Amino acid sequence: LQMTKQQFTQVREEVQEIQELENKFLKSHQHPVPTLQCTFPIHSLKDFSNNASQKVFFFDIDNCLYSSKLQIHQMMQRAIQNYISQELNLSSDDAIGLNLKYYQEYGLAIQGLKTLHSIDALEYNRKVDDALPLHDIIKKDLVLRNILIKLKNKNVKLWLFTNAYKNHALKVISLLGIADLFDGLTYCDYAQENFLCKPYKMMFLKAINDSGVVNSQENAYFIDDSRLNCLKAKEYNFFKKVFHLIEDESEYNDCADNCILIKDIHDLTTVVPELF
């Protein structure tokens, strides 16, 4: 088909208009990273000189510092499954199954994807964790902030210990309004060829070493919502106390063996009063 110059110009203008509308839509749906106020180094660790009695509290982040009722985990699982389905050309059901399989075998789906399918972990992170609209869901938690301040006032070092990449970790604590209260972060470094993650012993050792805690069996405390992570933390005998956070009342009986059940992160003052 032949177009006149006038018709061609009209079509080009219509295409440009559509592109401008698309760009406006994309900009309005981008999820800005909140201003970070971290007071600890991300790429290098401080030269810690802990005294022999200083306590260190290790905090998991997801479904721990914020409530599982926000359903961020479910949102993340859907994002992972969609990613697996698209990248590996699998049906939705097969992607769900593979996600579960790799989580059970490797501790993280991305570990299996990288090991067996040569998936770029940083690209995965950009399309999954970084793409979550957390700013619409997570709000400042002043109650939690006050609890953490009380711990700091008692000279307890606060340490983040997560299986997420640093971007996600920093975004979450910033949105919660507690980014300035922590002393450090141990995270899954997706940029490394072979990265560590919980529940593997070397990952726990890394967190212990990163924090600089002295005599961890007497001075280290750990909280996580994962039963497996809590079981392993207790098995490795790195911590004085291990707290298994379970919000769902129907799952209270599944509390990890020899761990302390905590039903809400805001209950810390009750379950570990000796630190306050």
- What domains can you pick out in the chain, each with its CATH number? 56-66+138-275 (3.40.50.1000), 72-131 (1.10.150.450)
- How confident is the model at residue 25, as a pLDDT? 40
Please say whether the beta carbons of 71 and 65 come within 8 A: no
User: What is the gyration radius of the CA atoms in the chain, in angstroms?
Assistant: 22
Region for 259 from its dihedrals, namely left if φ exceeds 0, alpha if ψ lies in -120 to 50, beta otherwise: beta
Q: Model confidence over 226-271: pLDDT tens digits?
A: 999 999 999 999 999 999 999 999 999 999 999 999 999 999 999 9
- How confident is the model at residue 22, as a pLDDT? 45
Q: Model confidence over 43-96: pLDDT tens digits?
A: 555 545 568 899 999 999 999 999 999 999 999 999 999 999 999 999 999 999
């510092």: which residue's tokens? Answer: 65
CA dihedral 233, 189, 39, 240 (to 10 degrees): 10
Q: Which two tokens stand for residue 268?
A: 């810390």
Q: Model confidence over 37-48: pLDDT tens digits?
A: 676 766 555 545
Q: Model confidence over 151-199: pLDDT tens digits?
A: 999 999 999 999 999 999 999 999 999 999 999 999 999 999 889 999 9
Q: Model confidence over 189-199: pLDDT tens digits?
A: 999 988 999 99
Q: Which two tokens stand for residue 204?
A: 């726990």
- How confident is the model at residue 20, as a pLDDT? 56
